[in-house]
Amino acid sequence: AVALAEAFALAEKVGLDLNIMHQVVSSGAAGSWALDNYGPRVLKGDLDPGFKLGMQQKDLRIAYETARQLGDEFKGTKLAYELFTQAKEKGFGELGSHGLIMLYKTKR
Query: What is the CATH superfamily name and number for domain 2-106?
Result: N-(1-d-carboxylethyl)-l-norvaline Dehydrogenase; domain 2 (1.10.1040.10)
What's the pLDDT tens digit per position in 5-43? Answer: 888 889 999 999 999 999 999 998 988 888 888 889 888
* CB of 42 closer than 8 Å to CB of 98: yes
* CB of 5 closer than 8 Å to CB of 42: no
Quote the pTM value.
Answer: 0.81
What's the pLDDT tens digit per position in 44-100? Answer: 988 788 899 999 999 999 999 999 999 998 999 999 999 999 999 999 999 988 889
Q: How far is CA 107 from CA 13, 34, 83, 90, in A?
A: 11, 23, 12, 11
List the chain domain ranges: 2-106
